[in-house]
Amino acid sequence: MKKSLKEIKPGVGLGNLKFGMSREAVRLMLGEPSFIDNAN
């Protein structure tokens, strides 16, 4: 895991990921997921 993803800032986000970002923006930063769990 990247070091920047280890620091959680309450009310702000996780590293460079900010609360409220679109899925597309997160996907651009982190890349495509290796696994998607579709269990309900």
Q: What are the residues facing 17 on neighbouring strands?
A: 14
pLDDT value at position 26? Answer: 92
pLDDT tens figures, 1-40: 566 677 888 999 988 899 999 999 999 998 998 999 998 7
Model pTM? 0.63
pLDDT value at position 12? Answer: 92
pLDDT value at position 37? Answer: 93
Query: Do residues 2 and 15 make contact, with C-beta atoms less than 8 angstroms apart?
Result: yes
pLDDT value at position 15? Answer: 85
pLDDT value at position 39? Answer: 87
Residues with Cβ within 8 Å of residue 4, at least 6 apart in sequence: 15, 16
pLDDT value at position 1? Answer: 53
